[in-house]
Chains A and B, each alone.
Chain A
Amino acid sequence: MRLQDVGPVFVMSGLILSASVCALEPMTDRDLSDVSGQAFITIDTSSYNQGSGNWSGDYEFTKVNLGMELETVFNIDELRLGRFEREAYVDGTVPITDDNRNILYNPDGSAQVYDSDIIIEDFALGRVDNHDDAANAAYVPFMARNPFIELAYKTENGQKRISGVRVGFDKAQGDLSGDLISVTGIVEGEIRGDIQVVYDNNCSGWNALAPNCLLLLASSDKEIYTQVDLLDGATGDGADRLNTTYLKRASWFGVPTGRNFQTDETGLIASLIPTLTRSSDCEVLGTPACFRSTIYQSIYIGDKGTDFESGSASGVFLSVQTESVPWEDLSGVPGSDRVLTDSGAFMNISRYQSGGETKYPLYLTLEEATRGTPRVATCVGRIKGC
């Protein structure tokens, strides 16, 4: 019998377990050989030294994988990660704004920023269907497979120190809900819809005669789409224009300045769409392009309506770092390599590869992008707050 066959075995050396309890008898080798264990835990190590800038140097990682399938419906009244002082427009930190995108200032004249990297109120995973009929209410759990916890170390001048820790899942699928007050990290989605929606929003009355509206009218049957990200509500700028890899303490989401819609259609009119739909200062053709993150009350991680095997998302994780850490990108998206994080907390809900295609964790119609996504119920008898 190989020792590995019985799973984790504890071997004491130097200790004498002299007493026994009642009639407990030690198992013989023969007894033990009848027991087969499962490889419930594996531990992997890896290293990385190909980074540049803040992520240069020697990194090592220890990843503890738990072989486990999880189903859950849970609520958290308040989640705060990475609470420490930050300054607006330093290292990608963005200021707090009012609903009209005006920056709020402290009495000393500095711009206000949220006190934590991630603040989510009434956070929940999973949902409750028929919540208003307690006799027929049904829990629809959030599903996850193989959770892991990973430690990152950086070695400098012969000293190895912990530089970050992250928790995540190999695969996950289900509803994630909450009031996204402050978000640090990468949250990616895609907006898709008919250009008719943009025309209807902007081209009433005399506006209909404006050149842009005439062009929109000519292409109103075409479907357009673009990626949406966290952005600075005050300027509409995304991470690239703030010279950072991701925004910190963001509370707005949308089409960042400089990005345009695309279409898969061909022809002259279709070729004009990217130019026509370039986002600037939170507007695309006069239509708002930036939205409060709190209007997206529920996000479905993975493909809704497909089973876990084909519809679950990979690469979702939550981490905290004391310094810059280049985590391995586990999304499976071709060409992906490292997720570059800085000190503080980080939430990664980004694109992933599933069934041979790259998918977004959040799909919105043009109407949903403006209106938001309603919260799914996470309690019986009430939407939230239980």
Chain B
Amino acid sequence: MVRLVLLPVLAALRGVNEMKKLLTLSAAVVIAHSANAELQALDDAEMSSQSGAGLGFALQDFVFSTDDASLAVTGIEDGTGNEVGIKWDQFYIMGEGSQNGAVKKPVDIGSYLHPWVVRSVRGSSDWDGDPADFYTGDAPAIGDDVAALQILTDVYTSAAQNTRQYVMDCIFASAGDCGQRAAIRRSGADIGSRFTLDFADGTNHVWNIDMRGVYLDGSGFTLWSRPDDSGQSELLGQLNLSLLAEEFQIDTCGDACTGTGSLLQIDQVYLGLNLGFGDMQPLKFSATSDGNFVLELSKPDPSSRGVDPSDRDAMLAFFNEYYANAPKSDIYIGEITVGNRTAGETVINGFRAQYLKATSIDL
């Protein structure tokens, strides 16, 4: 059963009359159930009359602002055990041109043609089939014997609208038509927030963060499960993030001053992260008995392909296939400036973790 909890929460935040939002549901089954602000939750009976593998949704003319509301994060301490007060407020998601959230400009998050999607899909890889199809389809590198849950953002094939392609061609490289592409690109979202840290010694730090022109298309999170070594079902995942912010700003001056000389600005920030590669290298989540979490990007797993681990040639072929197909990650941080000072650009090109294990510990 699905209940739409998003809208009531937002309505409480912004007020029904101001929101002017159109929330559209479309899916394989197309529940074109659009309504103006007064969306009703679907009950079990309504949902049971629908069939289909997924649900697409789009938030059009979307404006989100916490206005005067604030969120207090407690329980975080400094190294000597004193509580650090963290206040999170001024959170907004608006359309590009909102002037750091001051002008309530609406934004479209997905659309009829390019919705965000929550769906259940069968793994796309028939390991006994044509090798040319191993890494294609809706859930590449996941065996077709399991189903996976996917949450996907909007997808574009146009070279101008597909953010990852735009970044690769026009930020990491200099394709000839970048000016034209930039001119016809849709506008992005403006997202911002303010964090205030209060320390026991009276020190106070403010991070006022604003991102202009944010794009998230082509991102996705996939979850599925398989038995682990002991036969217990184990949650596996894969994260593909493609986030571009045309401009990123942090102001630490606080309310006392608004001088631009203290504003940290970055022109274009891109995070293209690919963590996990289907059954060959899933991302695993677990917890230890003492309450700590474990996040593991496992070593490339030959058993996922039925490869005999003692066969040198087969193992070499397996690793070569992994290296050739598992997507790498790229990060770009444009020139960082504060006033007339610069720290230059940062480029991390072609990052791939063959193994990563992070276990939290008590500080």
Contact = CB atoms under 8 A, between A and B. Distances in A.
A18 B12 contact: yes
B181 interface: no
B339 interface: yes
B205 A322 contact: no
Interface in A76-103: 76-84
Contacts of A133: 312
A13 B72 contact: yes
A139 to B, nearest CB: 5
Interface stretch (B3-11, B94-102, B151-159): B3-11
Given A71-B357, A133-B312, A162 B78 contact: no
A126 B355 contact: yes
B30 to A, nearest CB: 23
Contact of B299 (A139, A151, A161, A343): A139
A352 B100 CA distance: 44
A161 B338 contact: yes
B315 interface: yes
A377 B292 CA distance: 32
A60 B359 contact: no
B356 to A, nearest CB: 5
Contact of B363 (A40, A162, A345, A386): A40
Interface string B65-100: 010111111111111000110000000000000000
B78 A43 contact: yes
Contacts of A145: 361
B73 to A, nearest CB: 6
Contact of B354 (A38, A45, A73, A164): A73
A19 interface: yes
A37 B291 contact: yes
Interface string A54-71: 000000101001111111
A151 B84 CA distance: 16
Contact of A82 (B261, B346, B355): B346
A27 interface: no
Given A62-B197, A379-B323, A161 B363 contact: no
A43 B84 contact: yes
Interface string B178-217: 0000000000000000000101010101000000000000
Interface stretch (A2-10, A220-228, A230-238): A2-10
Interface in A347-386: 379-381, 386
A11 interface: yes
Contacts of B221: none
Given A67-B360, A75-B351, A159-B253, A84 B342 contact: yes
A17 B77 CA distance: 27
B271 interface: no
A239 B174 CA distance: 37
A118 B345 CA distance: 11
B262 A159 contact: yes
B75 A6 contact: yes
Contacts of B309: 135
A71 B362 CA distance: 17
B254 interface: yes
B29 interface: no
A76 B339 contact: no
Indicate the size class of the contact surface on chain B: 35 or more
B69 to A, nearest CB: 3
A134 B356 contact: no
Chain A interface, >50% SS class: strand
- Residue from B328, B354, B355, B356 having most chain A Cβ neighbours under 10 A: B354
Contacts, number: 263
Contacts of B83: 4
Nearest to A164: B343
A43 B76 contact: yes
Nearest to A324: B341
Indicate the size class of the contact surface on chain A: 35 or more
Contact of B336 (A43, A137, A139, A320): A320
B319 A79 contact: no
Contacts of A15: 9, 12-13, 66, 69
Given A40-B360, A45-B203, A322-B336, A135 B312 contact: yes
A129 to B, nearest CB: 13
A10 B343 contact: no
A322 B338 contact: yes
Interface string B7-42: 011001100000000000000000000000000010
A146 B259 CA distance: 36
Contacts of A69: 358-359, 361
B311 interface: yes
B335 interface: yes
A81 B345 CA distance: 6
Nearest to A147: B358
A161 B71 CA distance: 25
Interface string A37-50: 11111111101000
- Residue from A17, A68, A134 having most chain B Cβ neighbours under 10 A: A134
A141 interface: yes
A136 to B, nearest CB: 8
Contacts of B259: 159
Given A15-B12, A18-B12, A162-B252, A381 B339 contact: no
B5 A117 contact: no
B312 A321 contact: no
A318 to B, nearest CB: 10
Given A18-B8, A45-B78, A343 B199 contact: no
A338 interface: no
B9 A17 contact: yes
Given A67-B360, A153-B252, A320-B336, A8 B75 contact: yes
B347 interface: yes
- In the A-B complex, the 8 residue pairs with the smallest Cβ-Cβ separation, listed nearest first, are A77-B350, A14-B69, A134-B315, A84-B344, A161-B262, A67-B363, A134-B316, A322-B341
Interface of B: 1, 3-5, 8-9, 12-13, 41, 66, 68-79, 83-84, 197, 199, 201, 203, 205, 250, 252-254, 256-257, 259, 261-264, 290-292, 299, 309-313, 315-316, 318-320, 323, 328, 335-339, 341-363
17 contacts: A12-B71, A15-B9, A19-B41, A37-B75, A39-B362, A42-B76, A60-B205, A66-B360, A69-B361, A75-B352, A78-B348, A116-B344, A139-B299, A151-B205, A320-B346, A323-B341, A379-B319
Given A10-B73, A79-B347, A320-B336, 11 more contacts: A21-B5, A68-B358, A80-B345, A83-B344, A84-B335, A84-B345, A134-B319, A141-B355, A146-B363, A160-B252, A162-B252
